[in-house]
Structure 1
Amino acid sequence: MDALKALEVCGGAARRPALARLGVEDAALRRAVRAGVLQPDRGLYALPTAPPDLVAVLRNRELLTCSSAAAAYSLWSLPSDGRRHVYHRRQDAVCGDAVHHSGLLLPPSRLQPVAALADVLIHALRCLSFADSLVMVECAVTRGDMTVDFLRQRLPGHRNGRARAVLDWVDSGADSLLETLARTYFRKAGIEVQAQVYLERVGYVDLLLDGWLVVELDGRHHAEWKQVQKDHRRNNESVLQGYTALRYYYTDVVFRPQEMVAEVLAVLKRRR
Protein backbone atom coordinates (compact mmCIF):
# COMPACT_ATOMS: atom_id res chain seq x y z
CA MET A 1 0.00 0.00 0.00
CA ASP A 2 1.14 3.56 -0.67
CA ALA A 3 2.65 5.20 2.44
CA LEU A 4 0.32 8.21 2.34
CA LYS A 5 -2.74 5.99 1.99
CA ALA A 6 -1.53 3.77 4.83
CA LEU A 7 -1.11 6.78 7.11
CA GLU A 8 -4.64 7.89 6.26
CA VAL A 9 -5.93 4.41 7.16
CA CYS A 10 -4.14 4.73 10.51
CA GLY A 11 -5.76 8.08 11.23
CA GLY A 12 -2.90 10.31 10.08
CA ALA A 13 0.05 8.92 12.05
CA ALA A 14 1.51 5.51 12.81
CA ARG A 15 4.62 3.68 13.90
CA ARG A 16 6.65 1.54 11.55
CA PRO A 17 5.16 -1.86 12.60
CA ALA A 18 1.60 -0.72 11.86
CA LEU A 19 2.64 0.56 8.44
CA ALA A 20 4.50 -2.68 7.72
CA ARG A 21 1.28 -4.62 8.38
CA LEU A 22 -0.28 -2.59 5.57
CA GLY A 23 2.54 -3.54 3.22
CA VAL A 24 4.51 -0.29 3.32
CA GLU A 25 8.21 -0.90 2.68
CA ASP A 26 11.14 1.12 4.02
CA ALA A 27 11.92 2.55 0.59
CA ALA A 28 8.36 3.84 0.30
CA LEU A 29 8.66 5.51 3.71
CA ARG A 30 11.89 7.24 2.72
CA ARG A 31 10.21 8.57 -0.41
CA ALA A 32 7.24 9.75 1.66
CA VAL A 33 9.52 11.63 4.06
CA ARG A 34 11.20 13.38 1.15
CA ALA A 35 7.72 14.27 -0.12
CA GLY A 36 6.73 15.94 3.17
CA VAL A 37 5.68 13.21 5.62
CA LEU A 38 6.85 14.15 9.14
CA GLN A 39 8.96 12.08 11.55
CA PRO A 40 8.07 13.37 15.05
CA ASP A 41 10.05 10.52 16.64
CA ARG A 42 12.20 7.60 15.64
CA GLY A 43 10.02 5.04 13.85
CA LEU A 44 7.01 7.38 13.92
CA TYR A 45 5.54 8.88 10.76
CA ALA A 46 2.78 11.47 10.46
CA LEU A 47 0.97 13.45 7.82
CA PRO A 48 1.17 17.24 8.26
CA THR A 49 -2.55 17.16 9.00
CA ALA A 50 -2.30 14.43 11.68
CA PRO A 51 -4.16 15.23 14.93
CA PRO A 52 -1.61 16.41 17.54
CA ASP A 53 -3.22 14.24 20.22
CA LEU A 54 -2.72 11.12 18.09
CA VAL A 55 0.94 12.00 17.50
CA ALA A 56 1.44 12.58 21.24
CA VAL A 57 -0.07 9.19 22.12
CA LEU A 58 2.12 7.41 19.58
CA ARG A 59 5.24 9.28 20.64
CA ASN A 60 4.70 8.25 24.27
CA ARG A 61 3.78 4.68 23.26
CA GLU A 62 0.39 4.88 24.95
CA LEU A 63 -2.88 3.19 24.02
CA LEU A 64 -6.14 5.11 24.11
CA THR A 65 -8.80 3.43 26.19
CA CYS A 66 -11.96 4.12 28.21
CA SER A 67 -13.81 7.24 27.00
CA SER A 68 -10.84 8.37 24.89
CA ALA A 69 -11.28 5.30 22.67
CA ALA A 70 -15.03 5.73 22.16
CA ALA A 71 -14.59 7.57 18.87
CA ALA A 72 -12.25 4.90 17.50
CA TYR A 73 -15.01 2.31 17.92
CA SER A 74 -17.87 4.71 17.06
CA LEU A 75 -19.37 4.22 20.52
CA TRP A 76 -21.94 6.53 22.05
CA SER A 77 -20.35 8.85 24.57
CA LEU A 78 -21.24 11.79 26.79
CA PRO A 79 -19.29 15.05 27.11
CA SER A 80 -16.00 14.49 28.94
CA ASP A 81 -13.65 16.64 30.99
CA GLY A 82 -11.10 16.50 28.19
CA ARG A 83 -8.56 14.33 30.00
CA ARG A 84 -6.93 11.56 28.00
CA HIS A 85 -7.53 7.98 29.20
CA VAL A 86 -4.62 5.71 28.31
CA TYR A 87 -2.89 2.42 29.00
CA HIS A 88 0.90 2.29 29.36
CA ARG A 89 3.09 -0.50 30.65
CA ARG A 90 4.58 1.97 33.13
CA GLN A 91 2.24 4.32 34.93
CA ASP A 92 5.02 6.82 35.64
CA ALA A 93 5.53 7.24 31.88
CA VAL A 94 2.04 8.66 31.32
CA CYS A 95 2.23 12.34 30.37
CA GLY A 96 0.42 15.27 31.95
CA ASP A 97 -2.94 14.82 33.65
CA ALA A 98 -3.91 11.77 31.59
CA VAL A 99 -5.85 9.04 33.39
CA HIS A 100 -3.86 5.80 33.52
CA HIS A 101 -5.58 2.42 33.20
CA SER A 102 -3.77 -0.79 34.04
CA GLY A 103 -4.24 -4.28 32.66
CA LEU A 104 -5.12 -5.52 29.18
CA LEU A 105 -6.98 -8.75 28.43
CA LEU A 106 -6.66 -8.75 24.65
CA PRO A 107 -4.18 -7.53 22.01
CA PRO A 108 -4.78 -3.90 21.01
CA SER A 109 -5.68 -2.63 17.56
CA ARG A 110 -3.07 -3.53 14.97
CA LEU A 111 -3.28 -0.22 13.12
CA GLN A 112 -4.09 2.45 15.71
CA PRO A 113 -2.93 3.10 19.29
CA VAL A 114 -6.21 1.90 20.77
CA ALA A 115 -6.92 -0.87 23.26
CA ALA A 116 -9.19 -3.75 22.26
CA LEU A 117 -12.92 -3.08 22.52
CA ALA A 118 -13.34 -5.38 25.52
CA ASP A 119 -10.58 -3.60 27.43
CA VAL A 120 -12.01 -0.20 26.50
CA LEU A 121 -15.40 -1.17 27.92
CA ILE A 122 -13.98 -2.81 31.06
CA HIS A 123 -11.89 0.27 31.77
CA ALA A 124 -14.96 2.47 31.21
CA LEU A 125 -17.05 0.38 33.60
CA ARG A 126 -14.40 0.67 36.30
CA CYS A 127 -13.61 4.35 35.72
CA LEU A 128 -16.58 6.34 34.46
CA SER A 129 -19.90 7.33 35.97
CA PHE A 130 -22.97 5.12 35.64
CA ALA A 131 -24.38 7.05 32.67
CA ASP A 132 -21.06 7.42 30.81
CA SER A 133 -20.19 3.73 30.98
CA LEU A 134 -23.76 2.55 30.35
CA VAL A 135 -24.10 4.28 26.98
CA MET A 136 -20.73 3.00 25.77
CA VAL A 137 -21.48 -0.61 26.72
CA GLU A 138 -25.04 -0.57 25.42
CA CYS A 139 -23.92 0.82 22.07
CA ALA A 140 -21.50 -2.10 21.63
CA VAL A 141 -24.08 -4.65 22.82
CA THR A 142 -26.83 -3.28 20.57
CA ARG A 143 -24.52 -3.51 17.54
CA GLY A 144 -23.63 -7.09 18.43
CA ASP A 145 -19.95 -6.28 19.00
CA MET A 146 -20.02 -7.32 22.67
CA THR A 147 -22.14 -9.30 25.13
CA VAL A 148 -22.98 -8.53 28.73
CA ASP A 149 -21.99 -12.06 29.80
CA PHE A 150 -18.51 -11.66 28.30
CA LEU A 151 -17.93 -8.47 30.30
CA ARG A 152 -19.50 -9.80 33.49
CA GLN A 153 -17.26 -12.87 33.51
CA ARG A 154 -14.22 -10.61 33.34
CA LEU A 155 -15.32 -8.41 36.22
CA PRO A 156 -15.19 -10.80 39.19
CA GLY A 157 -14.93 -10.03 42.87
CA HIS A 158 -16.07 -7.33 45.23
CA ARG A 159 -13.89 -4.59 43.71
CA ASN A 160 -15.82 -4.87 40.44
CA GLY A 161 -19.24 -4.73 42.07
CA ARG A 162 -19.97 -1.19 40.85
CA ALA A 163 -19.04 -2.15 37.29
CA ARG A 164 -21.29 -5.23 37.33
CA ALA A 165 -24.14 -3.10 38.67
CA VAL A 166 -24.01 -1.02 35.48
CA LEU A 167 -24.31 -4.21 33.40
CA ASP A 168 -27.60 -5.03 35.17
CA TRP A 169 -29.19 -2.10 33.32
CA VAL A 170 -27.81 -2.80 29.85
CA ASP A 171 -30.50 -3.59 27.28
CA SER A 172 -30.46 -3.76 23.49
CA GLY A 173 -32.39 -2.17 20.66
CA ALA A 174 -32.00 1.49 21.62
CA ASP A 175 -31.60 3.92 18.73
CA SER A 176 -29.54 6.45 20.64
CA LEU A 177 -27.83 7.20 23.91
CA LEU A 178 -30.82 9.43 24.79
CA GLU A 179 -33.13 6.43 24.59
CA THR A 180 -30.75 4.34 26.68
CA LEU A 181 -30.48 6.94 29.42
CA ALA A 182 -34.16 7.94 29.52
CA ARG A 183 -35.33 4.32 29.55
CA THR A 184 -32.94 3.53 32.40
CA TYR A 185 -33.83 6.58 34.48
CA PHE A 186 -37.55 5.80 34.15
CA ARG A 187 -37.08 2.14 35.07
CA LYS A 188 -34.98 3.13 38.07
CA ALA A 189 -37.96 5.25 39.16
CA GLY A 190 -40.21 2.17 39.04
CA ILE A 191 -41.98 3.04 35.78
CA GLU A 192 -42.97 0.36 33.28
CA VAL A 193 -41.13 1.17 30.05
CA GLN A 194 -41.49 -0.25 26.55
CA ALA A 195 -39.02 0.90 23.91
CA GLN A 196 -39.63 1.34 20.18
CA VAL A 197 -43.37 0.64 20.28
CA TYR A 198 -45.33 0.78 17.01
CA LEU A 199 -48.58 2.76 17.03
CA GLU A 200 -50.96 2.74 14.07
CA ARG A 201 -50.79 5.93 11.95
CA VAL A 202 -48.03 7.21 14.25
CA GLY A 203 -45.15 4.81 13.65
CA TYR A 204 -42.54 3.81 16.19
CA VAL A 205 -42.34 5.91 19.34
CA ASP A 206 -39.18 6.01 21.43
CA LEU A 207 -40.72 5.03 24.77
CA LEU A 208 -44.17 4.07 26.02
CA LEU A 209 -44.65 4.39 29.77
CA ASP A 210 -47.35 2.49 31.67
CA GLY A 211 -48.96 1.69 28.34
CA TRP A 212 -50.29 5.19 27.64
CA LEU A 213 -47.67 7.91 28.07
CA VAL A 214 -45.54 8.43 24.95
CA VAL A 215 -42.09 9.94 25.46
CA GLU A 216 -40.21 11.11 22.38
CA LEU A 217 -36.53 12.05 22.52
CA ASP A 218 -35.18 14.64 20.12
CA GLY A 219 -31.63 14.84 18.85
CA ARG A 220 -30.08 17.52 16.68
CA HIS A 221 -31.79 16.41 13.45
CA HIS A 222 -35.12 17.36 14.97
CA ALA A 223 -34.21 21.04 14.61
CA GLU A 224 -35.05 20.85 10.91
CA TRP A 225 -38.43 22.44 10.19
CA LYS A 226 -39.76 19.53 8.13
CA GLN A 227 -38.88 17.13 10.94
CA VAL A 228 -40.53 19.43 13.51
CA GLN A 229 -43.76 19.41 11.50
CA LYS A 230 -43.64 15.63 11.19
CA ASP A 231 -43.09 15.27 14.94
CA HIS A 232 -46.01 17.55 15.75
CA ARG A 233 -48.32 15.56 13.48
CA ARG A 234 -47.20 12.33 15.14
CA ASN A 235 -47.90 13.84 18.56
CA ASN A 236 -51.36 14.98 17.47
CA GLU A 237 -52.23 11.54 16.10
CA SER A 238 -51.09 9.81 19.29
CA VAL A 239 -53.28 12.16 21.37
CA LEU A 240 -56.27 11.44 19.11
CA GLN A 241 -55.76 7.74 19.87
CA GLY A 242 -55.91 8.38 23.61
CA TYR A 243 -52.23 8.61 24.43
CA THR A 244 -50.49 11.48 26.17
CA ALA A 245 -47.22 12.65 24.63
CA LEU A 246 -44.19 14.34 26.19
CA ARG A 247 -41.06 15.38 24.35
CA TYR A 248 -37.57 15.81 25.79
CA TYR A 249 -34.27 17.01 24.34
CA TYR A 250 -30.59 16.24 24.75
CA THR A 251 -30.10 18.75 27.55
CA ASP A 252 -33.09 17.34 29.44
CA VAL A 253 -31.89 13.74 29.32
CA VAL A 254 -28.16 14.34 29.81
CA PHE A 255 -28.01 17.37 32.12
CA ARG A 256 -31.33 17.44 34.02
CA PRO A 257 -32.61 13.86 34.23
CA GLN A 258 -34.03 14.29 37.73
CA GLU A 259 -36.32 17.07 36.56
CA MET A 260 -37.39 14.99 33.55
CA VAL A 261 -38.27 12.00 35.73
CA ALA A 262 -40.14 14.22 38.19
CA GLU A 263 -42.30 15.65 35.38
CA VAL A 264 -43.08 12.19 34.04
CA LEU A 265 -44.01 10.90 37.50
CA ALA A 266 -46.33 13.89 37.97
CA VAL A 267 -48.16 13.09 34.73
CA LEU A 268 -48.37 9.36 35.52
CA LYS A 269 -49.71 10.11 39.00
CA ARG A 270 -52.67 12.00 37.60
CA ARG A 271 -53.81 9.04 35.47
CA ARG A 272 -53.15 6.51 38.23
Structure 2
Amino acid sequence: MEIETFLGERAGVARASTLRGAGFPRTYLDKALAAGRIVRIRRGIYSTPREAGAFGMALQHNALLTCLSAAPTYRLWTLHEASSVHLSPGHKAAPPGTRVHGRCPHPAHPWLPVAGLADVLIHSLRCLPTVESLVMLQCAAQRGDITLEFLRRKLPGNRNARARSVLDSVIPRADSILEVLANYHFRRAGLHVRRHAEIPGVGEVDFLIEDCLVVETDGDTHLEPRQVKKDRKRNNATLVGGHLGLRFGYADVVHHPEQMVAKVLEVLELSRQGAFSAR
Protein backbone atom coordinates (compact mmCIF):
# COMPACT_ATOMS: atom_id res chain seq x y z
CA MET A 1 0.00 0.00 0.00
CA GLU A 2 1.24 3.49 -0.86
CA ILE A 3 1.57 5.94 2.01
CA GLU A 4 -0.89 8.33 0.35
CA THR A 5 -3.53 5.60 0.40
CA PHE A 6 -2.77 4.74 4.01
CA LEU A 7 -3.07 8.37 5.09
CA GLY A 8 -6.21 8.84 3.01
CA GLU A 9 -7.92 6.14 5.05
CA ARG A 10 -7.03 8.07 8.22
CA ALA A 11 -8.33 11.54 7.36
CA GLY A 12 -5.00 12.35 5.70
CA VAL A 13 -2.89 12.39 8.87
CA ALA A 14 -1.09 9.93 11.16
CA ARG A 15 1.59 9.71 13.82
CA ALA A 16 5.06 8.57 12.87
CA SER A 17 4.72 5.56 15.20
CA THR A 18 1.52 4.54 13.39
CA LEU A 19 3.21 4.80 10.03
CA ARG A 20 6.23 2.78 11.16
CA GLY A 21 3.92 0.15 12.63
CA ALA A 22 2.17 -0.09 9.26
CA GLY A 23 5.45 -0.88 7.52
CA PHE A 24 6.72 2.59 6.54
CA PRO A 25 10.24 2.86 8.07
CA ARG A 26 12.00 6.15 8.83
CA THR A 27 14.01 6.01 5.60
CA TYR A 28 10.77 5.65 3.62
CA LEU A 29 9.25 8.65 5.40
CA ASP A 30 12.34 10.77 4.73
CA LYS A 31 12.21 9.92 1.02
CA ALA A 32 8.47 10.64 0.85
CA LEU A 33 9.04 13.99 2.56
CA ALA A 34 11.83 14.90 0.15
CA ALA A 35 9.63 14.00 -2.81
CA GLY A 36 6.76 16.11 -1.51
CA ARG A 37 4.44 13.13 -1.22
CA ILE A 38 3.86 13.82 2.48
CA VAL A 39 4.29 16.80 4.79
CA ARG A 40 5.40 16.97 8.43
CA ILE A 41 2.89 19.27 10.12
CA ARG A 42 4.53 19.01 13.52
CA ARG A 43 7.10 16.75 15.15
CA GLY A 44 6.04 13.12 14.79
CA ILE A 45 2.89 13.89 12.76
CA TYR A 46 2.66 13.49 8.98
CA SER A 47 -0.04 14.47 6.53
CA THR A 48 -0.87 14.55 2.86
CA PRO A 49 -0.07 17.93 1.26
CA ARG A 50 -3.77 18.53 0.67
CA GLU A 51 -4.69 18.19 4.35
CA ALA A 52 -1.55 19.88 5.63
CA GLY A 53 -2.74 23.31 4.54
CA ALA A 54 -5.65 23.42 6.99
CA PHE A 55 -3.69 21.78 9.81
CA GLY A 56 -0.78 24.12 9.18
CA MET A 57 -3.03 27.17 9.31
CA ALA A 58 -4.52 26.02 12.61
CA LEU A 59 -1.07 25.43 14.11
CA GLN A 60 0.27 28.73 12.84
CA HIS A 61 -2.54 30.68 14.50
CA ASN A 62 -2.79 28.50 17.60
CA ALA A 63 -6.37 27.66 16.66
CA LEU A 64 -8.46 24.52 16.22
CA LEU A 65 -10.10 23.22 13.07
CA THR A 66 -13.81 22.76 13.61
CA CYS A 67 -17.17 22.40 11.89
CA LEU A 68 -16.87 21.20 8.26
CA SER A 69 -13.06 21.48 8.26
CA ALA A 70 -12.86 18.92 11.09
CA ALA A 71 -15.28 16.43 9.55
CA PRO A 72 -12.58 14.38 7.73
CA THR A 73 -10.64 13.89 10.98
CA TYR A 74 -13.67 12.22 12.55
CA ARG A 75 -14.70 10.51 9.29
CA LEU A 76 -18.09 12.16 9.29
CA TRP A 77 -20.42 12.13 6.32
CA THR A 78 -20.43 15.39 4.38
CA LEU A 79 -22.14 16.68 1.25
CA HIS A 80 -19.40 19.14 0.25
CA GLU A 81 -15.80 19.92 1.06
CA ALA A 82 -15.21 23.08 3.03
CA SER A 83 -14.76 26.05 0.68
CA SER A 84 -13.01 27.95 3.47
CA VAL A 85 -11.25 26.82 6.63
CA HIS A 86 -13.44 26.73 9.74
CA LEU A 87 -11.41 27.74 12.79
CA SER A 88 -11.95 28.23 16.50
CA PRO A 89 -9.21 30.76 17.41
CA GLY A 90 -10.26 31.30 21.01
CA HIS A 91 -9.72 34.97 21.85
CA LYS A 92 -7.23 35.48 19.02
CA ALA A 93 -7.90 36.97 15.61
CA ALA A 94 -8.39 34.49 12.79
CA PRO A 95 -6.69 34.89 9.40
CA PRO A 96 -8.73 36.57 6.63
CA GLY A 97 -10.99 34.31 4.58
CA THR A 98 -11.66 31.78 7.35
CA ARG A 99 -14.97 30.95 9.00
CA VAL A 100 -14.63 31.87 12.66
CA HIS A 101 -16.35 29.86 15.40
CA GLY A 102 -16.61 30.35 19.13
CA ARG A 103 -14.49 28.79 21.83
CA CYS A 104 -14.35 25.03 22.37
CA PRO A 105 -15.33 24.12 25.94
CA HIS A 106 -14.90 20.36 25.37
CA PRO A 107 -11.61 18.45 25.17
CA ALA A 108 -9.87 18.82 21.81
CA HIS A 109 -8.43 16.03 19.67
CA PRO A 110 -5.59 14.36 21.61
CA TRP A 111 -2.82 15.16 19.14
CA LEU A 112 -4.17 17.22 16.25
CA PRO A 113 -5.15 20.93 16.14
CA VAL A 114 -8.80 19.89 15.86
CA ALA A 115 -11.73 20.62 18.14
CA GLY A 116 -13.37 17.77 19.99
CA LEU A 117 -16.26 15.98 18.30
CA ALA A 118 -18.86 17.66 20.53
CA ASP A 119 -17.69 21.14 19.58
CA VAL A 120 -17.37 20.20 15.90
CA LEU A 121 -21.01 19.08 15.80
CA ILE A 122 -22.32 22.01 17.85
CA HIS A 123 -20.51 24.45 15.58
CA SER A 124 -21.88 22.70 12.48
CA LEU A 125 -25.42 22.89 13.84
CA ARG A 126 -25.07 26.64 14.33
CA CYS A 127 -23.16 27.31 11.10
CA LEU A 128 -24.17 25.02 8.24
CA PRO A 129 -27.42 24.61 6.33
CA THR A 130 -29.72 22.06 7.94
CA VAL A 131 -29.07 19.18 5.56
CA GLU A 132 -25.28 19.59 5.76
CA SER A 133 -25.18 19.55 9.55
CA LEU A 134 -27.74 16.73 9.62
CA VAL A 135 -25.59 14.25 7.70
CA MET A 136 -22.59 14.95 9.96
CA LEU A 137 -24.74 14.49 13.04
CA GLN A 138 -26.41 11.34 11.71
CA CYS A 139 -23.04 9.72 11.06
CA ALA A 140 -21.68 10.43 14.54
CA ALA A 141 -24.90 9.52 16.36
CA GLN A 142 -25.56 6.19 14.65
CA ARG A 143 -21.96 5.11 15.18
CA GLY A 144 -22.44 5.78 18.88
CA ASP A 145 -19.73 8.45 19.00
CA ILE A 146 -22.09 10.90 20.70
CA THR A 147 -25.68 10.96 21.96
CA LEU A 148 -28.47 13.30 20.95
CA GLU A 149 -29.37 13.77 24.60
CA PHE A 150 -25.89 15.12 25.33
CA LEU A 151 -26.08 17.58 22.45
CA ARG A 152 -29.58 18.67 23.36
CA ARG A 153 -28.37 19.62 26.85
CA LYS A 154 -25.59 21.66 25.25
CA LEU A 155 -28.02 23.62 23.08
CA PRO A 156 -30.41 25.42 25.46
CA GLY A 157 -32.46 28.55 24.86
CA ASN A 158 -34.20 30.17 21.93
CA ARG A 159 -31.00 30.93 20.02
CA ASN A 160 -30.37 27.21 19.64
CA ALA A 161 -33.92 26.31 18.57
CA ARG A 162 -32.95 25.67 14.93
CA ALA A 163 -29.98 23.54 16.01
CA ARG A 164 -32.21 21.43 18.28
CA SER A 165 -34.70 20.93 15.45
CA VAL A 166 -31.95 19.24 13.43
CA LEU A 167 -31.53 16.70 16.23
CA ASP A 168 -35.15 15.68 15.71
CA SER A 169 -34.37 14.68 12.12
CA VAL A 170 -31.75 12.07 13.07
CA ILE A 171 -33.04 8.53 12.47
CA PRO A 172 -31.98 5.34 14.29
CA ARG A 173 -30.37 3.83 11.22
CA ALA A 174 -29.38 5.09 7.80
CA ASP A 175 -27.36 3.10 5.30
CA SER A 176 -26.35 6.16 3.32
CA ILE A 177 -26.44 9.93 3.14
CA LEU A 178 -29.23 9.60 0.59
CA GLU A 179 -31.53 7.89 3.07
CA VAL A 180 -30.96 10.64 5.63
CA LEU A 181 -31.74 13.42 3.18
CA ALA A 182 -34.69 11.71 1.49
CA ASN A 183 -36.27 10.98 4.87
CA TYR A 184 -35.82 14.62 5.88
CA HIS A 185 -37.43 15.97 2.71
CA PHE A 186 -40.32 13.47 2.72
CA ARG A 187 -41.21 14.20 6.33
CA ARG A 188 -40.86 17.92 5.76
CA ALA A 189 -43.48 17.52 3.03
CA GLY A 190 -45.85 15.98 5.59
CA LEU A 191 -45.76 12.46 4.17
CA HIS A 192 -46.30 9.30 6.21
CA VAL A 193 -43.01 7.45 5.88
CA ARG A 194 -41.92 3.96 6.95
CA ARG A 195 -38.20 3.34 6.72
CA HIS A 196 -36.66 -0.06 5.95
CA ALA A 197 -40.11 -1.59 5.50
CA GLU A 198 -40.36 -5.29 4.66
CA ILE A 199 -42.38 -5.95 1.50
CA PRO A 200 -43.39 -9.59 0.77
CA GLY A 201 -41.58 -10.88 -2.29
CA VAL A 202 -39.31 -7.82 -2.38
CA GLY A 203 -37.52 -7.66 0.94
CA GLU A 204 -36.48 -4.53 2.78
CA VAL A 205 -37.04 -1.26 0.94
CA ASP A 206 -35.69 2.16 1.79
CA PHE A 207 -39.08 3.83 2.17
CA LEU A 208 -42.75 2.93 2.05
CA ILE A 209 -44.70 6.16 1.68
CA GLU A 210 -48.41 6.40 2.52
CA ASP A 211 -48.45 2.57 2.62
CA CYS A 212 -48.58 2.33 -1.17
CA LEU A 213 -45.48 3.84 -2.76
CA VAL A 214 -42.05 2.22 -2.47
CA VAL A 215 -39.16 4.66 -2.87
CA GLU A 216 -35.57 3.51 -3.23
CA THR A 217 -32.50 5.78 -3.11
CA ASP A 218 -29.67 4.57 -5.32
CA GLY A 219 -26.00 5.30 -4.75
CA ASP A 220 -23.14 4.52 -7.13
CA THR A 221 -23.22 0.79 -6.37
CA HIS A 222 -26.63 0.57 -8.02
CA LEU A 223 -24.97 1.30 -11.37
CA GLU A 224 -23.00 -1.95 -11.24
CA PRO A 225 -24.38 -4.61 -13.66
CA ARG A 226 -25.11 -7.17 -10.94
CA GLN A 227 -26.97 -4.61 -8.84
CA VAL A 228 -28.90 -3.36 -11.88
CA LYS A 229 -30.25 -6.87 -12.44
CA LYS A 230 -31.17 -7.21 -8.78
CA ASP A 231 -32.93 -3.85 -8.76
CA ARG A 232 -34.89 -4.77 -11.89
CA LYS A 233 -36.19 -7.91 -10.21
CA ARG A 234 -37.13 -5.94 -7.10
CA ASN A 235 -38.94 -3.35 -9.20
CA ASN A 236 -40.98 -6.06 -10.89
CA ALA A 237 -41.76 -7.76 -7.57
CA THR A 238 -42.86 -4.42 -6.13
CA LEU A 239 -45.45 -3.92 -8.87
CA VAL A 240 -46.59 -7.55 -8.84
CA GLY A 241 -47.09 -7.25 -5.08
CA GLY A 242 -49.47 -4.34 -5.54
CA HIS A 243 -47.19 -1.41 -4.69
CA LEU A 244 -46.08 1.50 -6.81
CA GLY A 245 -42.37 2.22 -7.07
CA LEU A 246 -39.96 5.10 -7.71
CA ARG A 247 -36.17 5.24 -7.66
CA PHE A 248 -34.00 8.31 -7.15
CA GLY A 249 -30.26 8.76 -7.55
CA TYR A 250 -27.69 10.98 -5.88
CA ALA A 251 -28.38 14.05 -8.02
CA ASP A 252 -32.13 13.79 -7.35
CA VAL A 253 -31.78 13.55 -3.59
CA VAL A 254 -28.90 15.93 -3.03
CA HIS A 255 -29.26 18.56 -5.75
CA HIS A 256 -32.96 18.47 -6.68
CA PRO A 257 -34.92 17.37 -3.61
CA GLU A 258 -37.88 19.61 -4.45
CA GLN A 259 -38.29 17.82 -7.79
CA MET A 260 -38.01 14.44 -6.06
CA VAL A 261 -40.75 15.32 -3.58
CA ALA A 262 -42.91 16.74 -6.38
CA LYS A 263 -42.72 13.45 -8.29
CA VAL A 264 -43.67 11.50 -5.16
CA LEU A 265 -46.64 13.79 -4.55
CA GLU A 266 -47.69 13.50 -8.20
CA VAL A 267 -47.70 9.70 -8.10
CA LEU A 268 -49.64 9.70 -4.82
CA GLU A 269 -52.24 12.06 -6.27
CA LEU A 270 -52.60 9.91 -9.39
CA SER A 271 -53.08 6.89 -7.13
CA ARG A 272 -55.81 8.69 -5.17
CA GLN A 273 -57.55 9.49 -8.45
CA GLY A 274 -57.51 5.81 -9.41
CA ALA A 275 -55.04 6.18 -12.26
CA PHE A 276 -53.38 2.88 -11.37
CA SER A 277 -56.54 0.92 -10.64
CA ALA A 278 -57.33 -2.09 -12.80
CA ARG A 279 -59.82 -1.35 -15.57
> Fold match, TM over 0.5?
yes
How far did residue 62 of structure 1 move?
2.7
CA gap of 1:48–1:155, structure 2 versus 1, over 3 A, is closer
Are residue 87 (structure 1) and residue 95 (structure 2) matched?
Answer: no
> Contact 1:155 / 1:164 at 8 angstroms: preserved in 2?
yes
Q: Secondary structure at the match of 2:62?
A: coil
Aligned equivalent of 2:275: none
Structure 2 partner of 1:214 = 214
Q: Please give the secondary structure, in 2, of the residue aligned with 1:207.
A: strand
- SS of the equivalent of 2:201 reads coil
Greater Cα offset, 104-113 or 130-139: 104-113
Distance in 2 (alpha carbons) for counterparts of 1:242 and 1:72: 46
Matched, 1:70 2:71: yes
SS of 2:228's equivalent?
A: helix
Q: CA deviation at 1:46?
A: 5.8
Instruction: Show structure 1 runs of 4+ deviating over 4 A.
Output: 8-14, 34-38, 40-50
Change (3 A) 1:247 1:78: same
Counterpart code for 1:58: L
Q: Closer, same or farther in 2 for the Cα pair 1:254/1:43, shift >3 Å?
A: closer
How far does residue 255 in structure 1 lie from its aligned partner after superposition?
0.8
Q: Write the letter of the residue equivalent to 1:183.
A: N
Q: CA deviation at 1:168?
A: 2.1
1:12-161 matches, within 5 Å, as: 12=13, 35=30, 44=43, 47=46, 49-51=48-50, 52-53=52-53, 54-80=55-81, 82-92=83-93, 94-161=94-161
- Asked if structure 2 preserves the Cα contact closer than 8 Å seen for 1:126 and 1:163, the reply is yes
For residue 230 of structure 1, report the CA deviation from its aligned partner.
1.0
Question: Using CA pairs below 8 Å that are at least 6 residues apart, which structure has the higher relative contact order?
Answer: 1
CA distance in 1 between counterparts of 2:240 and 2:232 reads: 12
Following superposition, the deviation at residue 202 of structure 1 comes to 1.7
SS in 2 for 1:162: helix
Structure 1 residue 48 displacement after superposition: 8.2
Distance 1:192 1:35, change over 3 A: closer
Q: 1:113: how far off?
A: 2.1
What is the alpha-carbon distance in structure 2 between the residues aligned to residue 91 and residue 220 of structure 1? 44
Alignment correspondent of 1:237: 237
Moved more, 199-208 or 242-251: 199-208
Q: TM-score, normalized by length of structure 1? A: 0.82
- Counterpart of 1:106 in 2: which secondary structure? coil
Q: Deviations over 1:46-84 (max 9, x none)?
A: 658543323333333332211111111111111245111
| Pair 174,166 (structure 1): closer, same or farther in 2 beyond 3 Å | same
Unaligned 5+ runs, structure 2: 21-25, 273-279
The 3 A distance-change label for structure 1 pair 122 and 96 is: same
